[in-house]
């Protein structure tokens, strides 16, 4: 702002105030912020309902297929994939379920921590009916509003997610390492140690308290895309669709949980507000990301970097370079979301200026953010996965790193190959 306003403090302050007023007057921005907050309410209600515990109980006890070290890790893997509502919750639940089973078959906690970490963020960044989707859709929509790219935000984001090669590779590598009991690097020396007394307890009720709201979320997105697009899903409004989806899901949970005596109205309201409060800071980060996107757009930062890169960087290497740069930022900061907010406003204009594949470059940012986050010892998901599996953070980082590097190398190759194809 200082640069745009000739370093005048007063003018910059007024311009900043006007910037946020203009952002909050945009309907799609308000709906995206509302979506981010409603996601918190829905996640909190699902957790409070006991549906997750019921699902876990059903899988573990009523369908008892856990008879070995491999099947105990595979169950944690499956739970990590199925429960995609939020990366931290996914890691916690996967660890809570897997830890007693892994103790039974003396599986090293480092291996369980690896499974928890390598399913949580990757699956959350692939199935984006969560806070990840809110942030990414908002960042992409900002680039559309700035005129950097044209099209529907949801369509562009779905295309980008298809290029999320690191997440896909990490899920495949994790599955293979569990199924074939592949231990490489420091994982070969990982030893089993009995769990500490700390346990994560899940209240258990009918699993349908979890399954029905998640199914409804998935179905309603397409319904509202159809309605807002006047019969054409591809022309539907992404921000409106996801906002109406989460609002409808929240109302469904009210008329499902309260009449069935899962919880009373007071608890429903309290839980909803508590969940919204937890994700309110994310909505503020998202608003700041919108502001950064506007400012970098006016400064033409991406176009400037593209002009510099075009002199020495081949278009075929652009996606790979974006992936590596995003990885470095995420590793240094320990946050994939912060990396998205920094890199998407830079990567999109670069791709446009160099006539590259915009969706591929956005996919490279998403992949790089998750990859760097996986390798970083200061990442929240790294720490939470270690805690859930009762494993030392440094041991988890050392044992996971070889697998992450393999997945990262595969992703880098795919970004280069698809740059040539597209």
Q: Specify whether the CB–CB gap between 50 and 204 falls below 8 A.
A: yes
Q: Specify whether the CB–CB gap between 154 and 240 falls below 8 A.
A: no
Question: Does residue 399 have a pLDDT over 90?
Answer: yes
Candidates 181, 129, 200; CA nearest to 384 is 200
Question: Does residue 128 have a pLDDT over 70?
Answer: yes
- 274-300 per-position pLDDT tens digit: 988 877 876 776 677 667 767 766 776
3-state helix, strand, coil in the chain (%, to 5): 80, 0, 20
- CA 392 from chain center: how many Å? 24
Mean pLDDT computed over every residue of the chain:
82
Question: Does residue 45 have a pLDDT over 80?
Answer: yes
- 247-280 per-position pLDDT tens digit: 999 999 999 999 998 899 999 999 999 988 877 8
Give the least confident one: 76-80, 92-96, 395-399: 92-96
Domain boundaries, the chain: 9-421
Tokens at residue 76, please? 């944690």
- State how far the alpha carbon of 372 is from the alpha carbons of 89, 335, 338, 366, in Å: 20, 8, 12, 10
Question: Does residue 410 have a pLDDT over 80?
Answer: yes
d(CA 165, CA 168): 5
- Report the b/e string of 59-82 with b at 16+ CB within 10 A: bbeeeeebeebeebbbbbbebbbb
pLDDT at 302: 56
**Exposure of 125 by Cβ count < 10 A (0-12 exposed, 13-18 middle, 19+ buried)?**
buried
Question: Does residue 311 have a pLDDT over 70?
Answer: no
State the average pLDDT over residues 417-421. Answer: 91
Q: Specify whether the CB–CB gap between 71 and 113 falls below 8 A.
A: no
- State how far the alpha carbon of 422 is from the alpha carbons of 155, 303, 409, 419, in Å: 17, 21, 20, 5
Question: Does residue 198 have a pLDDT over 50?
Answer: no
Tokens at residue 381, please? 């998901």
Per the model's pLDDT, the better-predicted residue between 400 and 96 turns out to be 400
Helices 393-421 and 165-179 cross at an angle (nearest 10°) of 130
Q: Specify whether the CB–CB gap between 54 and 210 falls below 8 A.
A: yes
What is the DSSP track for 109-156? HHHHHHHHHHHHHHHHHHS-SSHHHHHHHHHHHHHHHTTSS-S-HHHH
Is the overall model pTM greater than 0.75, yes or no?
Answer: no
State the average pLDDT over residues 29-37. Answer: 79
Q: Specify whether the CB–CB gap between 393 and 377 falls below 8 A.
A: yes
State the average pLDDT over residues 83-97. Answer: 73
Candidates 250, 203, 270, 201; CA nearest to 51 is 203
- State how far the alpha carbon of 197 is from the alpha carbons of 99, 117, 390, in Å: 12, 22, 10
| 149 secondary structure, DSSP code | S
401: confidence class by pLDDT, cuts 50, 70, 90: very high
Residue that has been written with the tokens 């529907």 in this structure: 152
Question: Does residue 318 have a pLDDT over 50?
Answer: yes
Question: Does residue 380 have a pLDDT over 90?
Answer: no
pLDDT at 168: 96
Q: Specify whether the CB–CB gap between 95 and 388 falls below 8 A.
A: yes
3-state secondary structure of 25: coil
Helix count (H) and strand count (E) of the chain? 18, 0
């Amino acid at each position: 702002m200082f640069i745009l306003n000739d370093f005048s403090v007063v003018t910059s302050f007024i311009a900043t105030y006007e910037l946020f007023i203009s952002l909050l007057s945009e309907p799609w921005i308000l709906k995206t912020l509302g979506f981010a907050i409603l996601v918190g309410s829905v996640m909190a209600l699902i957790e409070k309902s006991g549906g997750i515990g019921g699902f876990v109980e059903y899988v573990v006890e009523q369908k008892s297929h856990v008879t070995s070290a491999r099947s105990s890790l595979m169950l944690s893997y499956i739970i990590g994939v199925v429960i995609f509502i939020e990366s931290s919750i996914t890691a916690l639940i996967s660890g809570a379920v897997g830890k007693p089973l892994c103790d039974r078959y003396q599986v090293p906690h480092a291996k369980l921590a690896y499974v928890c970490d390598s399913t949580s963020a990757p699956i959350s960044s692939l199935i984006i009916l969560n806070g990840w989707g809110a942030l990414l859709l908002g960042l992409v929509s900002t680039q559309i509003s700035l005129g950097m790219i044209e099209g529907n935000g949801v369509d562009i984001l779905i295309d980008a997610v298809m290029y999320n090669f690191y997440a896909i590779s990490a899920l495949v590598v994790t599955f293979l390492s569990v199924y074939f009991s592949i231990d490489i690097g420091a994982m070969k020396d990982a030893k089993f140690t009995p769990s500490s007394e700390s346990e994560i307890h899940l209240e258990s009720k009918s699993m349908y308290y979890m399954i029905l709201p998640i199914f409804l979320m998935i179905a309603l997105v397409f319904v509202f895309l159809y309605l807002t697009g006047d019969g054409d899903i591809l022309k539907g409004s992404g921000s409106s669709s996801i906002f109406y989806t989460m609002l409808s899901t929240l109302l469904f949970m009210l008329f499902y949980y309260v009449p069935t005596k899962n919880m009373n109205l007071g608890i429903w309201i309290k839980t909803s507000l508590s969940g919204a409060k937890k994700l309110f800071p994310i909505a503020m980060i998202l608003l700041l990301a919108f502001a950064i996107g506007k400012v970098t757009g006016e400064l033409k930062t991406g176009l400037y970097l593209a002009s510099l890169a075009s002199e020495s960087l081949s278009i075929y290497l652009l996606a790979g370079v974006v992936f590596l740069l995003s990885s470095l930022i995420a590793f240094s900061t320990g946050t994939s979301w912060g990396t998205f907010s920094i890199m998407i406003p830079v990567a999109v204009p670069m791709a446009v200026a160099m006539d590259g594949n915009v969706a591929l470059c956005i996919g490279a940012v998403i992949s790089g953010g998750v990859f760097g986050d996986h390798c970083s010892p200061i990442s929240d998901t790294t720490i939470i996965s270690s805690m859930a599996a009762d494993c030392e953070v440094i041991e988890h980082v050392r044992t996971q790193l070889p697998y992450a590097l393999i997945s990262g190398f595969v992703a880098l190759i795919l970004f280069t190959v698809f740059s040539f194809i597209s």
